[in-house]
C-alpha cells in the first residue's frame, strides 16, 4: 500500500522525533555526566514544571482567546466555536493527554530507575517543551506539520515506559 503525501510527511516527522528522542535520552543516561548514587530522585521533579507549564500556557491561550472573541466567550459547551477556538481546544486536549502521560511516566521513572538514570527526566521535559511549541505552531498546517512536535512529546514517555518495563522484568 502506497502512503499518501500526508502519511509520508507524518512518518518522516515521527521517525525524526524517535531518533531525537533516543539520542537525547541515551545521551542523558549514558553521556558521562556524573550523578551521585546518593542524589535523591526527587531532585528531578523540578523539571516537571516545564511539562506543567506547557499545559498552563495552552489553557491560558484558549481562555484569552475566548475572553476577547465574542463568538467564543460562552465556551465550547455553549457554542460551536470559531476555527481558532477549535484549534486551541484541540491542542489543549492533546497537551492535557500528553501531560498526564509524561507526569505519570516520570513519576514511575523516579521511583524505579537508578539514580544514574535520573537525567532522563530533564531531557524528556526539555523535549516536551520543544515538542509542544512545534505542535502548537504546526497544528493548523496539518498532520505532517505537527508530527515532529507530537513525537517529541510522545516518544520520550513511550521510550521511558518501555525502559521501565524492561528494567522491572529483566534487571531487578
Q: What gap in Å lies between CA 46 and CA 34, rounded to an integer? A: 19
Give the tens place of pLDDT for each residue, 5-54.
999 999 999 999 999 999 999 999 998 666 555 566 566 789 999 999 99
pLDDT band at 172 (very low <50, low <70, confident <90, very high): confident
Of the candidates 58, 71, 67, 51, the residue with the CA atom closest to the CA atom of residue 137: 58
Residue 2: which pLDDT band, with cuts at 50, 70 and 90? very high
Share of the chain above pLDDT 70, in %: 92
DSSP state at residue 33: -
The rounded percent of the chain whose pLDDT value lies above 90 is 84
Q: Sketch the domain layout of the chain as residue ranges.
A: 45-171
Q: Which CATH class is domain 45-171?
A: mainly alpha
Q: Are 146 and 14 in contact (CB under 8 A)?
A: no
Mean pLDDT of all residues in the chain? 93
In this predicted structure, which of 27-36, 77-86, 126-135, 142-151 has the lowest mean pLDDT?
Answer: 27-36
Please provide the DSSP assignment of 52-112 as one string.
HHHHHHHHHHHHHHHHH-TTTTT-TTTS---HHHHHHHHHHHHHHHHHHHHHHHHHHHHHH
Average pLDDT over residues 107-125: 93
pLDDT attached to residue 129: 98
Q: How confident is the model at residue 78 (pLDDT cuts 50, 70, 90)?
A: confident
- Determine the pLDDT at residue 67: 97
pLDDT at 56: 98
- Predicted confidence at residue 170, as pLDDT, reads 97
Q: What pLDDT, on a 0 to 100 scale, did the predictor assign at position 159?
A: 98
Residues contacting 63, CB < 8 A, separation 6+: none
Amino acid at each position: 500500500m502506497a502512503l499518501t503525501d500526508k502519511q509520508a510527511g507524518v512518518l518522516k516527522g515521527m521517525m525524526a522525533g524517535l531518533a531525537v528522542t533516543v539520542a537525547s535520552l541515551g545521551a542523558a543516561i549514558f553521556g558521562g555526566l556524573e550523578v551521585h548514587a546518593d542524589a535523591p530522585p526527587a531532585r528531578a521533579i523540578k523539571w516537571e514544571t516545564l511539562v506543567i507549564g506547557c499545559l498552563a500556557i495552552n489553557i491560558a491561550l484558549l481562555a484569552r482567546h475566548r475572553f476577547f472573541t465574542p463568538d467564543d466567550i460562552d465556551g465550547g459547551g455553549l457554542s460551536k466555536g470559531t476555527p481558532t477556538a477549535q484549534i486551541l481546544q484541540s491542542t489543549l486536549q492533546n497537551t492535557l493527554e500528553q501531560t498526564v502521560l509524561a507526569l505519570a511516566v516520570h513519576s514511575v521513572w523516579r521511583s524505579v530507575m537508578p539514580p544514574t538514570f535520573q537525567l532522563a527526566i530533564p531531557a524528556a521535559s526539555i523535549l516536551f517543551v520543544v515538542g509542544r511549541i512545534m505542535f502548537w505552531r504546526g497544528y493548523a498546517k496539518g498532520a505532517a506539520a505537527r508530527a515532529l512536535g507530537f513525537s517529541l512529546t510522545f516518544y520520550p514517555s513511550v521510550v521511558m515506559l518501555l525502559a521501565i518495563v524492561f528494567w522491572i522484568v529483566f534487571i531487578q
